[in-house]
Every structure is written in structure tokens, then in C-alpha cells.
């Protein structure tokens, strides 16, 4: 029988925790949410041996158990609640060999909770180059724990870690710091009130205000005083605790940890002087972004054409080999075109995540956060707002979650409300298909107009987020001032395994989530487009054939006219026609109106919706791009021209257009007030921006 144990992976940010997680789990991982709160966690499975399987939780990075933000409190609440299904049998505390002193603060706190804790010292391959030597045997003795020296880059130490985890019951759990040394009188009274409880656990419950198992208080006169102590007094005790811990850590490291600092300057400081320079830093960042967007178009053209033609052939094969009927039409005209409309963008989505992952792995993204912080402060955003704004390029939902590390409610609220302006990967399919239709595939000085347009849309979204934040900062006045501290990790070559896993997981999640929605919407749209009320729909063929204007056209053209007439008088046509007066000033027809409504489920549904609508009753051998470029207005001009294309791109750049993001904003702000304000404001901005641009360009 296989036994399953829970392992919590904990550590400071930038200690290589993700690399250790990937080394243990590989692709046996999934992403979920903690019950009752919205914080992303990673969960993976690792088979330690034939009889023991480990369920590994990768928890948010934290510097200590003195939480200052909501995401850090996740770690504390889990470690204090033995009734939690995820409560760890053993903790793996990942540390960085260069910052061991700072990392050990968190280690000593967790060990004092009397949970078996393995100390993993990562990046051991850098010890020789940095002149670091560690007496592991003595350090184990001093800390009274098991220590594993690993290098995820050189793939060393992972087997030793697994062996240690198998024998986790042998890991000592004795605490390192006696709480009585912090303030004897206070902790003696606490011990007297709760004689059967761990003093350090009680201390965390009091200072962190987290959920914990019910405590049976003794009826003592001063038992109610513990949580009513002044905040300044508790803060003073926390500071004293930190000092005591560092005194212990310093004494231990003085005997076990040596660093030879003969090298005066290193590559890191020289690179930082350039990459976070107040002028050249921005220039380099601009060049990197421009290169990424150029590559997205150039490198993905061949695989995209292959995917596009494959789905066309698939629809044709279904029509040829399956018997005629409703089911065949549904598959060929509804399901396949709808899914094809999203699958075609896999290469470009994958390339986007590839570049973002490489920038994160190398340590450059932390420099970008520091660089952008300089400019954001004047607009009322916390420096920590940069992280959600940048992560919003993948998806607005985790970006909104990431605001939980912002202490100020005002700054957190502003960040939540402006994050959806950042161009997410769901907008990418919309931008890519429209850019390919209305922007010439030409170059100026080697720079593609299409790549430049895509980068411009990203900048436009970010600019609108900054402008909106500035306005809200003036409306929501407050006198509080916040500070931003970010750690600069070492530069390193990206681990191909980590990059590969990130690209695979992000792309797969994008396709699976979008695919589910598109499949359901494609079926619904096909039904609404294939059926309709009244004589106009049921007698479409007779009505078109008796129209004098169509007497001299070919049989093929006549079939197209019949299909078009039937579509206009179907249920979806009636719905679209009712919307047309509101969107016609923007340059859109009723089919685009349907796509706008359906894409509220998810932005990328826009392309799949048009693919389904254009496929009903039409030639399945045409690609979605060809069908969109062939659409004409009643006056014979192309529907998708420069004016309507730019108008649509601006609408999607500014509109909320995502019910999942709306739902997460509601959850994070504890009500419908702010998400409804956000929805109305963004829709207003999107509509009038699209209206003005179309009226100018048409």
C-alpha cells in the first residue's frame, strides 16, 4: 500500500524554490486556489520510493512568519492549523547559499513550531565561485536538523533530499529559541493561561490574528489581556524576537559559514549599472520588448499557417466522410471552426510565455520592477503594483490576486481596478488576427509594422492603467505613505527545464480554459445560427431566388446569398441586428456585435465566434482569416479595414470584456460596488475611444 505524505515547500523569494519544486515534481503538478481565499498555489506529486508518495505544496514566498500582507499570511495559517488537509508532515525550507543568514530567520521560526523541517541550501554550484565554505556537519548539529546541499542547475542533491524526506520522522523537532528570553513576565503569564499549548504558536496566533484550532483558556484574571495589548507593545516584542533570533544565527554562522571576498567587483554590479540606469534601463527594456513582439509575428507564421490549413481540412473531411445531417453540420460548422479559432494562436501564445519565462529566470524581471517603480510613485501606485501590472500580461486574474501583498488598501484597490487595462494573453488572439488583416506586412529599417502595432497596444494599455491610477489617486485621497523594497536576485542562465515547464503549463492552461468556453459557446452559436423563427428563415431559399437582383448570378453565388439571408433571419441574426444601431457608429456590423457579447465570457472567444458564424452554411475550405478579409459592407467596401480594425483593437484594449476578472475583483473587494464601477467605466472608455478613432479614420 502506498502512503502519501504532505510536504510544504517554503522559502524567501528568489531562493530557487520553484526550481526545487520542478526538480521534485516535473510535470506532475497542478495549480489551484486555497479554500476561502484567492491565492494561487502549486501542487505536485513526487514518488519518493515504492511505498511513499509525496504531495508537495509550493507556498507563496515569505521572509518571516510576521506577515505584513495577505499572501504571506497563507503560510502562517497553514502551519498553525493541524486540521487543514494540507497541513505538512514535513517542511522543506529552501535557502540561498549567498543569503543564508537572512533565510535562517524563517527557518528558526518554523522549527519553533515543532514541525519536522529540512533545511535545503540551494545554488551550491556557486559556492566555489563566490568563495563560500560551509561546515555542514557542524551546522546540522548547531541547528539540530537535517541539511541537504543541492544545485538544481547541476541536478545534484535531489536524491539526498528525497532520502531525507522518506525518513522525516527522524528529523529533530526541538525549538531553537525559548520565548521566555523575549519577555519572561509576558510569556510566563501566557504559559500560565494556556499550559497545554506551544508558547510560540500562541504568540503567532496573538500577533498575526490568524485562524487556529480552538484554545481552552483557563479562567485566569489576565487571560483577556493577551490580544488587547497595544500594537506598539506587541511590535516591540516582535522586534525583540527578531533580534534574539539573529543573535543565535550570527553565533552559529560565525563557526560554520565562511566567505572569502577577495573579488572587488563582479559582473552583477556592472550589469545593474546599465540595466537599471535611469535612462539606458528604459531604452534596453524598450528594445527587448520590441524584439519580443517582432519574434512573435516572425517565428510563429509557419506553424500558424499549418494549424489553420489543418483545421480547414478537418472540417472538409468531416463533411466528406460523415453522413449529411445536423450532427455533421454542428461538428464541421460549429465545433471545429470555433476551436480552430483559438488553437491557431498556440504558437504565438507559447512564444510570449517563452520570452517572459526567460526574463524571469535570468533575474531581469526584478530589475524591471525596480526600474518601473521610479515612475509609478507619482501616480499613486505602490512599487508592489508593478508586479500585478507586469503579470497581467499573462492573465488579469492572478494579477488581481497578486495585489494581496500590497499593505495599503487604497493602493491595493487602485491596482485592482487598473490591472485589467494591461494587455493579457486572452487579448492576443484578437490583436493578432486584426493586425494581420488591417496592418501591412511590411518593414521599416527592419522593424515590422505589425510587431510595432502589437507593442503599441501593450504600451497603450499600460499607459491607460497609469492615467486611470493617477485620476483615482486624486479622488481617493489619503495621507499614508508606502515604501517598496525589492530584492535583486543574481543573474543566471535560465534552466531549460523550468522554462519548458512554464511554457507548457501556461499554454496548456490557456488552451484548456479557452477551449472549454469556446466549445460551449460554439455549440450555442451554431444552434442559434442554424435555426430561426418565421417565414423569412424557413423560406429563405424561395425568397432569395425570387429576388430580381439575383437573377443573373452563378449557382455558387446564389448559395452564398441564401446562406447569408438565412443567417440574418436566424435567432443569432435577430439578436445581432438589434445590437447593430449601437455599434454601427464604431464601424461594426451585427456579426461583430455577437462576437463582442460572446467574448465577455473570455476575450479570445471573439475569433472563435466569428469563425463559427462565418462557417454556418459557407465554404469550409476557407480559413478564418480569408473569411474575415472577404466580409464586405452593403456598399461593397471591406468590413475589416484600417478604421474598423483600429477601432476594434482599441475597444478590446480598454473594455473589461471578461466575466472571470469581474468575479475575482468582486471577491477581492468583498462586494459588487467596485467591480460594477470598473465595468461601467472601462466600457465607457472603450466605446468612446473606438467611436472617436473610427470617425476620424473612416
Most confident residue range from 84-93, 209-218, 232-241, 436-445:
84-93
Sheet (strand 3-11) strand order: 29-33, 40-47, 52-58, 3-11, 90-96, 117-122, 146-149
Q: Using the predicted structure, report yes or no on whether residue 194 has a pLDDT greater than 90.
A: no
Amino acid 559: pLDDT: 72
Tell me: the pLDDT tens digits for 246-286?
999 999 999 999 887 654 346 677 888 888 888 888 889 88
Specify whether 291 is located in the same domain as 398.
yes
Most confident residue range from 296-305, 335-344, 437-446:
437-446
The cell 531553537 sits on which residue? 176
Specify whether 152 is located in the same domain as 225.
no
Amino acid 32: pLDDT: 40
Amino acid 55: pLDDT: 92
In a domain, residue 33? The reply is yes
Specify whether 543 is located in the same domain as 589.
yes
- Model confidence band, residue 560 (pLDDT cutoffs 50, 70, 90): low
Mean pLDDT across the chain, nearest whole number? Answer: 80
Tell me: the pLDDT tens digits for 365-388?
778 777 777 677 677 676 667 777
In a domain, residue 407? The reply is yes
What is the rounded distance in angstroms from the CA atom of residue 91 to the CA atom of residue 109?
A: 12
- Domain finish residue from 113, 145, 170: 170
% of the chain with per-residue pLDDT over 90: 17
In a domain, residue 57? The reply is yes
Amino acid 640: pLDDT: 87
Specify whether 230 is located in the same domain as 353.
no
Q: Using the predicted structure, report yes or no on whether residue 680 has a pLDDT greater than 60.
A: yes
- Model confidence band, residue 228 (pLDDT cutoffs 50, 70, 90): very low
Specify whether 534 is located in the same domain as 637.
yes
Residue 8: left (phi > 0), alpha (psi -120 to 50), or beta? beta
DSSP letter for 125, please. G
Amino acid 56: pLDDT: 92
Q: Using the predicted structure, report yes or no on whether residue 135 has a pLDDT greater than 80.
A: yes
Specify whether 350 is located in the same domain as 408.
yes
In a domain, residue 488? The reply is no
Q: Using the predicted structure, report yes or no on whether residue 306 has a pLDDT greater than 80.
A: yes
DSSP letter for 546, please. T
Say which CATH number the domain at 137 has.
3.40.50.300
Which residues, at least 6 apart from 397, have a Cβ–Cβ distance to it below 8 Å? 660, 661, 664
Specify whether 385 is located in the same domain as 421.
yes
Cβ–Cβ under 8 Å, residues 391 and 399: yes
Specify whether 349 is located in the same domain as 440.
yes
Q: Using the predicted structure, report yes or no on whether residue 65 has a pLDDT greater than 60.
A: yes
Q: List b or e across 641-663, with b for residues whose CB sees 16 or more CB atoms inside 10 angstroms.
A: bebbbbbbbbbbbbbbbbebbbe
Q: What is the mean pLDDT of residues 14-41?
A: 63
- Model confidence band, residue 216 (pLDDT cutoffs 50, 70, 90): very low
- Model confidence band, residue 36 (pLDDT cutoffs 50, 70, 90): very low
Amino acid 549: pLDDT: 66
- Domain finish residue from 128, 143, 170: 170
Amino acid 90: pLDDT: 94
What is the rounded distance in angstroms from the CA atom of residue 188 to the CA atom of residue 59?
A: 33
Higher per-residue pLDDT: 339 or 89: 89
In a domain, residue 639? The reply is yes
In a domain, residue 148? The reply is yes
**Total number of domains constituting the chain:** 4
Specify whether 307 is located in the same domain as 206.
no
Specify whether 157 is located in the same domain as 194.
no
Cβ–Cβ under 8 Å, residues 12 and 43: no
Amino acid 264: pLDDT: 36
Q: Using the predicted structure, report yes or no on whether residue 446 has a pLDDT greater than 70.
A: yes
Specify whether 45 is located in the same domain as 192.
no
Domain around 318 = 280-475
In a domain, residue 415? The reply is yes
Amino acid 470: pLDDT: 86
What angle do helix axes 199-208 and 231-256 make, rounded to 10 degrees?
130
In a domain, residue 378? The reply is yes
Q: What is the mean pLDDT of residues 194-198?
A: 79
Q: Using the predicted structure, report yes or no on whether residue 300 has a pLDDT greater than 70.
A: yes
Specify whether 455 is located in the same domain as 550.
no
Amino acid at each position: 500500500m502506498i502512503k502519501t505524505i504532505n510536504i510544504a515547500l517554503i522559502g524567501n523569494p528568489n531562493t530557487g524554490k520553484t526550481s526545487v519544486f520542478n526538480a521534485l515534481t516535473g510535470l506532475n503538478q497542478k495549480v489551484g486556489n486555497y479554500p476561502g481565499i484567492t491565492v494561487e498555489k502549486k501542487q505536485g506529486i513526487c514518488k519518493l520510493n515504492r511505498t511513499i508518495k509525496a504531495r508537495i505544496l509550493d507556498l507563496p514566498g515569505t521572509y518571516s512568519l510576521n506577515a505584513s500582507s495577505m499572501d504571506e499570511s497563507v503560510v502562517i495559517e497553514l502551519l498553525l492549523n493541524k486540521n487543514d488537509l494540507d497541513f505538512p508532515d514535513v517542511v522543506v525550507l529552501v535557502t540561498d547559499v549567498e543569503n543564508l543568514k537572512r533565510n535562517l530567520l524563517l527557518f528558526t521560526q518554523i522549527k519553533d513550531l515543532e514541525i519536522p523541517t529540512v533545511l535545503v541550501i540551494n545554488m551550491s554550484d556557486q559556492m566555489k565561485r563566490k568563495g563560500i565554505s560551509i561546515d555542514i556537519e557542524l551546522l546540522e548539529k548547531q541547528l539540530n536538523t537535517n541539511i541537504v546541499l543541492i544545485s538544481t542547475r547541476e541536478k545534484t542533491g535531489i536524491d539526498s533530499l528525497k532520502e531525507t524526506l522518506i525518513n522525516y520522522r527522524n528529523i529533530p523537532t526541538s525549538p531553537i529559541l525559548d520565548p521566555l528570553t523575549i519577555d519572561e513576565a509576558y510569556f510566563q503569564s501566557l504559559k500560565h493561561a494556556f499550559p497545554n499549548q506551544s508558547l510560540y504558536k500562541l504568540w503567532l496566533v496573538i500577533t498575526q490574528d490568524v485562524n487556529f484550532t480552538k484554545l481552552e483558556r483557563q479562567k485566569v484574571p489576565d487571560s483577556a489581556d493577551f490580544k488587547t495589548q497595544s500594537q506598539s507593545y506587541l511590535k516591540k516584542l516582535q522586534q525583540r524576537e527578531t533580534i534574539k533570533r539573529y543573535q543565535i544565527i550570527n553565533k552559529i554562522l560565525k563557526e560554520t559559514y565562511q566567505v572569502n571576498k577577495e573579488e572587488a567587483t563582479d559582473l552583477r554590479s556592472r550589469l545593474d549599472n546599465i540595466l537599471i540606469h535611469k535612462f539606458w534601463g528604459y531604452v534596453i527594456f524598450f528594445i527587448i520588448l520590441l524584439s519580443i513582439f517582432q519574434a512573435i509575428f516572425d517565428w510563429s507564421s509557419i506553424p500558424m499557417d499549418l494549424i489553420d490549413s489543418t483545421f480547414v481540412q478537418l472540417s472538409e473531411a468531416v463533411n466528406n466522410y460523415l453522413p449529411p445531417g445536423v450532427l455533421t453540420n454542428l461538428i464541421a460548422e460549429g465545433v471545429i471552426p470555433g476551436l480552430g479559432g483559438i488553437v491557431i494562436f498556440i504558437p504565438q501564445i507559447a512564444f510570449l510565455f517563452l520570452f517572459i519565462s526567460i526574463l524571469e529566470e535570468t533575474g531581469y524581471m526584478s530589475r524591471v520592477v525596480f526600474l518601473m517603480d521610479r515612475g509609478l510613485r507619482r501616480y499613486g501606485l505602490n512599487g508592489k503594483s508593478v508586479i500585478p501590472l507586469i503579470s497581467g500580461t499573462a492573465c488579469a486574474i492572478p494579477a488581481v490576486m497578486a495585489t494581496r501583498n500590497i499593505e495599503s488598501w487604497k493602493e491595493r484597490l487602485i491596482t485592482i481596478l487598473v490591472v485589467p487595462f494591461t494587455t493579457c494573453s486572452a487579448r492576443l488572439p484578437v490583436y493578432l488576427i486584426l493586425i494581420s488583416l488591417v496592418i501591412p506586412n511590411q518593414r521599416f529599417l527592419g522593424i515590422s509594422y505589425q510587431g510595432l502595432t502589437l507593442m503599441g497596444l501593450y504600451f497603450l494599455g499600460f499607459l491607460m492603467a497609469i492615467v486611470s491610477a493617477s485620476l483615482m489617486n486624486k479622488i481617493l485621497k489619503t495621507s499614508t505613505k508606502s515604501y517598496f523594497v525589492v530584492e535583486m536576485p543574481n543573474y543566471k542562465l535560465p534552466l531549460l527545464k523550468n522554462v519548458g515547464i512554464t511554457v507548457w503549463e501556461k499554454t496548456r492552461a490557456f488552451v484548456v480554459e479557452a477551449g472549454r468556453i469556446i466549445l460551449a459557446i460554439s455549440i450555442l452559436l451554431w444552434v442559434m445560427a442554424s435555426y430561426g423563427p418565421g417565414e423569412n428563415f424557413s423560406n429563405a431559399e424561395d425568397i432569395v431566388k425570387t429576388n430580381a437582383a439575383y437573377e443573373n448570378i452563378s449557382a455558387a453565388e446564389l448559395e452564398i446569398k441564401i446562406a447569408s439571408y438565412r443567417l440574418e433571419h436566424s435567432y443569432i441574426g435577430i439578436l445581432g441586428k438589434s445590437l447593430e444601431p449601437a455599434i454601427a457608429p464604431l464601424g461594426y456590423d451585427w456579426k461583430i456585435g455577437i462576437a463582442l457579447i460572446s467574448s465577455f465570457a473570455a476575450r479570445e472567444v471573439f475569433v472563435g465566434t466569428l469563425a463559427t458564424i462565418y462557417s454556418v452554411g459557407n465554404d469550409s475550405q476557407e480559413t478564418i482569416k480569408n473569411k474575415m478579409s472577404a466580409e464586405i459592407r452593403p456598399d461593397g467596401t471591406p468590413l475589416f479595414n484600417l478604421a474598423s480594425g483600429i477601432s476594434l483593437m482599441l475597444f478590446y484594449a480598454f473594455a473589461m470584456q471578461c466575466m472571470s476578472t469581474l468575479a475575482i475583483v468582486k471577491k477581492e473587494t468583498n462586494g459588487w460596488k467596485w467591480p460594477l464601477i470598473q465595468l461601467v467605466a472601462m466600457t465607457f472608455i472603450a466605446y468612446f475611444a473606438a467611436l472617436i478613432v473610427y470617425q476620424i479614420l473612416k
